A and B are shown apart, each in its own frame.
Chain A
Amino acid sequence: MSENHLTDEPAAARAGAAGTAELAARTERLESLYDAAVKTLFWGFRLGAALLALGIVVALVKGEPLGHEADPIPDVIAMVRAGYASGIIDLAILWFMLTPVVTVIVVAASFWRLGDRRYALLSLIVLAILGASIALALNR
């Protein structure tokens, strides 16, 4: 019994290591997906932060008070075009909120390119659910 236990333990460890190697290879096949998601999040944050900084500077320079309620989405672009700091800040907030949505699109496209139709479809279902919340905001 104890001898079996001693011989089984290294065997289980070897099997575990082989199983892990198999899973590591599967994970590495998703490299392009990981890279695309990282780039989307990285640049999404940087562009959002730049917009936010621009909005704060414009608000301080113009002495423009910010409203206590973000403008409805259809009005935001018009506010930005008119040079209102509040429009730029609303756009920055929306940009931050849209970055994970864009990431879901990128992940879905990456799964599709890698031939993983099942997870591409699941990602599109997530996108549809997030799209429902965006539709609510658009109909404010």
Chain B
Amino acid sequence: MDIVYSLEIGAVAAVAAILGSMLGLGGGVFLVPILTLFFGIDPKFAVGASAVVVVTNSVVGSTNHLRIRFTNPRLAMLLQIATAAGAIAGALYGVLADPRVIYIVFGAVLVYAAVSMVVRSERRVTAPPPGAPDTLRLGAAFRDPAIREEVGYIPINVGWGMGVGVGAGVISGMLGVGGGVVMVPAMNLLMRVPVKAAVGTSTFMVGMTSVATAFVFYSRGFIDPTLVVPAIVGVFVGGQIGSRLTRRIKAQRLALLFALILLYLGLSLLLRAFGVEMPGQA
């Protein structure tokens, strides 16, 4: 094992996880651009490593969300049909795609994430009356520790949610990110799921979505253990630091700074697609 290389990758993964954890985006959104732009790693190996890391992150993160009932298992399984199928399609395209396509799509996703960070919107969900229509039995409730109350909800627009899920899956499969960046706002704004339940359900789902991605990349030999192992360790350590920092620092106060980082990485990837390298990049 090349210790120095492993430590570098581990440190980068930790930074990616700290940023991802503070923003609730997961580490993959930062990991892939940093590995490709600053380490010159082939984007397909970076995506493969990121997919495995996202699985591991979801395995760790989901336990807490399940314990406090933020996760809605029925909603997760229903939407997962769409996202997992989308992820396989996206990954099958991703392993064959020209790297420039990956740079363009990833760049566009990062620019979208940067903009949505500044223009953050959240829909408040009102509790449904007893016997409210819920033909798919997707309604659930959880205790919100912030307001010390039970919060009940019944998701609506399920068909649209599944449609967005296919798109989120395709993006996840192509780019090795979890898809939470798309699914959390979709569940909240479109399906009227409270944000905490949307995050809990999405965290549980991204593990399964990324499994589909990871196995497709595995099948084509794009899983590099020298990259995956330090990335898993780094993301685990960074995720712990990030969640502690989130309690001390209000991430929203740093929203503009984080948005600028995302914008810089997004524009760098878009420029890379057209053969332009920014200073200091590999």
Contact = CB atoms under 8 A, between A and B. Distances in A.
A140 interface: yes
Q: Does more than half of chain B's interface fall in helix, strand or loop, or is it mixed?
A: helix
Contacts of B218: 70, 73, 97, 137, 140
A54 interface: no
B226 interface: yes
B182 interface: no
Given A16-B129, A30-B73, A96-B56, A41 B212 contact: no
A37 B68 CA distance: 13
Nearest to B85: A129
Given A48-B56, A130-B208, A69 B223 contact: yes
A116 B207 CA distance: 23
Nearest to A124: B77
Interface stretch (B136-144, B253-261, B266-274): B136-144
A45 B1 contact: no
Q: Which of B77, B140, B154, B213: most chain A CB closer than 10 A?
A: B77
Given A41-B59, A56-B229, A68-B226, A125 B81 contact: yes
Interface in B193-243: 207-208, 211-216, 218-221, 223-226, 228-229, 232-233
A16 B1 CA distance: 59
Interface residues of B, number: 62
B66 interface: yes
Given A30-B73, A41-B62, A100 B1 contact: no
Contacts of A16: 126-129, 152
B141 A38 contact: no
B105 interface: no
Interface of A: 12, 15-24, 26-27, 30, 33-34, 37-38, 41-42, 44-45, 48, 52, 55-56, 59-60, 64-70, 73, 86, 89-90, 93, 96-101, 103-104, 107, 111, 116, 118-119, 122-123, 125-126, 129-130, 132-134, 136-137, 139-140
